[in-house]
Amino acid sequence: MNKTLKQYFVKSFIILAIIHLAYFLYGYFTFEGIKKIDIYSEFYRFKFYDDISISHFFVTCFFLFFFLIFLLKNHARQQYSFGKLLQIGFVLLVLSFASLTFFISFSFGQNAKLKSELSEKSYNKDKELLNVLNPFLYNYTSYYSERLFNYENILYPKPYPVIKEEKQVLLYHDQFNIETTYYSIDTLKVLTETYNKVAKKTDSIFDFTGLDINIVKERIIKKNVVGDSTQIIFKGVEVSPEYDKDICIFLENKSLYKPINDLPIEKQQYETAVKRYNLLYKFKQDSLKNQFQKLDTLFKKYNIQSSIVPKRLTSQIFYYAKNQERRLNGIENYFDRKKLNEKFQTLERYFYEPNYLHPNILPIFFVVLAIVWLDIFMFYILFNYKKPKTESKI
């Protein structure tokens, strides 16, 4: 590869860099804001019909056409060796890739503008608010779902969480009844060596007295050996959450609306459960009303239609918290749940899965790249092996 050809490649890459910068700036300054984001506005989807795709097609064709013309006119018939041709082929491959990826720079620009408008810290605060208020935001039919709302989802206060145990109890003759009991979940951590010694002695004591050791073993939920210690998780005291005045249905759901990235899920669930309990049983009603006012601001920020009135919803929440026997069918927490969910799903991809090259177009993209590169390279090889005028083999 002679000096003039190297200089030509460098100039071509400089031109491509300028075009990429132009697309980046275009993406940055045409970003419409988080209010307009939806599942159809993914930054890394090449759509084949918008102004970016159309201009991309013509700019790429224009650049490659003139690049090839000047390459064949001024830098062919050099009689390069096979090894040198491979080097040139690799450079042409990189150049072809750069000329077909202006839309990726456009995506980078839009993503950069997004993060200047909505920082990750601010986004996480919004998710934290939604996680705390999540059990208050279901539609009323969901509150009758045993999968979503049940006593085993209560994480706070002590002695929760609990484990459910169902047993068949004989009533008379062949008729049975299912008896449900809840136990607190307790943990004991001892040295493994100590545990083994105590376990052997306990077995011998039960054998001597004739008591059933299985009664004790049934209380053990599981054992975990961590290093030189043994962690025993077992059923503790019997709990009656159905008669607990400090427990209401809004505590029976531990689902997170959207987990904060890189934080343990269990820790987030527990912390949000504590905050919810405090809002319902420790703090004044104004604290919960303030949270719903923040939620109303969040809906406006993301352009989500809502008819939530913070003061009215707060009074309804406390009414059902204090009257557990009431059927929860009059809670006014109406908002566009589908749109909010879609918006946050899209934002999750923008922040944590920025492909920039959408999986749906990957096969097409690489086929086009291969065709463009092979055409340019084959043309160059054909012209390269034409009889030179004065040059000798390099």
pLDDT at 133 over 90: yes
The SS3 call for residue 177 is: strand
Judge whether 76 and 386 are in contact, CB under 8 Å.
yes
To the nearest 10 degrees (0 to 180), the angle between helices 120-133 and 337-352 is 140
The helix/strand/coil state of 179 is strand
Task: Write the pLDDT tens digit of every residue in 279-333.
Answer: 999 999 999 999 999 999 999 999 999 999 999 999 999 999 988 888 887 789 9
Q: Left, alpha or beta for 48 (phi > 0: left; psi -120 to 50: alpha)?
A: left
Is the pTM higher than 0.85? The answer reads: no
Q: What percent of the chain has pLDDT over 70?
A: 79
For residue 170, the model assigns a pLDDT of: 63
176/371: higher pLDDT: 371
Q: Which residue has the higher pLDDT, 259 or 80?
A: 259
Q: Is 336 left (phi over 0), alpha (psi -120 to 50) or beta?
A: beta
pLDDT of 276 strictly over 60: yes
Distance from first CA to last CA of the chain, Å, rounded? 8
pLDDT at 185: 77
* Token pair for 151: 């006593």
Is the pLDDT score of 335 beyond 90? Answer: yes
Across residues 360-384, what is the average pLDDT?
Answer: 88
Percent of the residues in the chain that have a pLDDT greater than 90, as a whole number? 48
pLDDT score at 388: 53
- pLDDT value at position 382? 83
Highest mean pLDDT among 72-86, 146-160, 204-218: 146-160
Two structure tokens written together for 261: 């990235």
Using CB atoms within 10 A of its CB, is residue 385 exposed (0-12), middle (13-18) or buried (19+)? middle
Distance between CA atoms of residues 370 and 365, nearest Å: 9
Predicted confidence band at 199 (pLDDT cuts at 50, 70, 90)?
A: low
Judge whether residue 394 has pLDDT over 60.
Answer: no
| pLDDT (0 to 100) of residue 344 | 94
Identify the pLDDT of residue 286. 95
Q: What is the pLDDT of residues 200-226, one digit of tens each?
A: 555 554 454 444 445 555 566 555 666
pLDDT digits (tens, 9 = 90+) for 47-65: 555 778 888 889 999 999 9
**What integer pLDDT is reported at residue 4 of this predicted model?**
85
Q: Which residue in the block uniquely carries the two structure tokens 């705390």?
A: 132
pLDDT band at 238 (very low <50, low <70, confident <90, very high): confident
The pLDDT value recorded for residue 204 is: 52
Calculate the alpha carbon distances from 317 to 46, 133, 154, 251, 324 in Å.
Answer: 46, 11, 17, 12, 11
Say how far apart CA 218 and CA 279 lie, in whole Å: 37
